[in-house]
Amino acid sequence: MKKFIFYLLLFAPSILAGCWDQRELSQITVVTGMAIDKGENGKYLLNVEGINAQELNNRTASGFAPSIVYGLEGNSVEELSQKMNVAMSRDLIYSHMKTLIIGEKVAEDGMLEFIDYLERDREIRDDFNILVARGVKASDILKVTYQFQKSSPLKLHTQIQSMVKMWGGDPNVRLNDLIEALTSTGRQPVIAAVSIDGDPEKGQSAENMKKVTPDAIVTLDSLAIFDALKLKGYISLNDTRNYLWIEDKLKRTSLTVPCKKGLYFDAKIYNTKTRVDGKINNGSAKISLNVMAEAFLDGTQCPADFSKIKVYKEYEHRVARQIEKNLSYTIKKVQRDYKLDIFGFGEFVRRQDYKNYKAIENHWDEYFSNSQVDVKVVVRLRRTGIRTKSFLTDLKK
């Protein structure tokens, strides 16, 4: 017992000492967003947003700005991130950063060497969104205020999560995903693009948060396509959803399908599964894309009686053909306009036909642009809501 008490007294101070590198909340500012533009006097213009936590809480808010955005120019993002205290009074904490926004000019010039710093720094996590600012400065995205989440990076983080969950439209690219694509011979990188709907300058005011129709709002715009480090172009949000479908990353979505001329029905898609097979045959790449999905009818403009099995079969066929059409369109568009394999088909060919792929891996994008891609979709329509026979059936008589 005496020995136990002795060792307890000996080690108790070390247990009760707490974190050796702790910093009080009154001494730090949490950085939620980082924007990197091309500088005029230096290689980069780095802007960071530090939040004013008091203003984010409705109980303690007093009408001041919810955050502060400050920028510096220089040749190294790492040095600039540590130099921000030339204007900001507290220590900046980057471990809770939610959004990294890359300026369009930086992306076009391939000036993404700062990715090495972001991956190497042990304080920065890998759970932040990476976005490209399309048609506006990256720093402008940080400054736009929003009614429900006053910090633009926090709003974007939640907005993207909701978009992925409800419809698709964002590839959910994280730092490791970007690096894996950059180092792969069978895949090219993609990053979601955002823009500002409205006047960026008016969107920076506190008044923007108080209007029913804001002067400016940050929107998901498209998907940016890269050739290694350089931005080559964009594809639309609909194509972005198709990209997610091909990547087997689509959670659920809504699809509008024609049933008659000028009339449509809505199908809610869920439980999708995509399988890709690839091989080299007679010097050409052949890709097979097989998609399985479940759906339920969400609404229709056409009179239909779903108490009949043949009507189910007809609508299943229509949904499947629409998905096949959409996916084939996106694949052919990327093959024709960009000649870059953003879908990772090369990785499937490498795993399934390694010997033949190894001989062409340095020219895979060329093979991809000329490859034959067969898309087959099977859809099962499971239910039709709370009614089988639409009231439109009686009206059309």
What's residue 380's pLDDT? 95
| CB of 94 closer than 8 Å to CB of 30 | no
What's residue 285's pLDDT? 95
Domain 236-397, second-level architecture: 2-Layer Sandwich (3.30)
Number of H helices, E strands in the chain: 14, 13
Domain ranges of the chain: 25-235, 236-397
Give the CA angle between residues 146, 149, 155 to the nearest 5°. Answer: 85
Mention every residue, 6+ apart, whose C-beta is less than 8 A from residue 271. Answer: 293, 294
Check whether 200 has a pLDDT greater than 70: yes
pLDDT band at 4 (very low <50, low <70, confident <90, very high): low
The closest of 105, 98, 23 to 67, measured between CA atoms, is 98
Mean of the per-residue pLDDT values of the chain: 89
**Residue 263 identity:** L
Check whether 324 has a pLDDT greater than 80: yes
What are φ and ψ of residue 92, in 5° steps? -90, 130
The closest of 185, 155, 163, 179 to 33, measured between CA atoms, is 155
Structure-block tokens of residue 284: 């050409």
Check whether 397 has a pLDDT greater than 70: no
Its pTM stands at 0.89
Check whether 386 has a pLDDT greater than 80: no
Contacts 24+ apart (CB under 8 A), 8-12: none
Mention every residue, 6+ apart, whose C-beta is less than 8 A from residue 42. Answer: 73, 74, 75
Report how far apart, in Å, the C-alpha atoms of 152 and of each of 146, 222, 232 are.
7, 18, 26
What's residue 59's pLDDT? 65
pLDDT band at 234 (very low <50, low <70, confident <90, very high): very high
Q: Any alpha helices (H) in 33-174, and if so which ranges? A: 53-56, 77-82, 104-108, 114-120, 138-143, 152-166
| CB of 114 closer than 8 Å to CB of 45 | no
* Rama region for 172: left / alpha / beta (φ>0; ψ in -120 to 50; rest): left
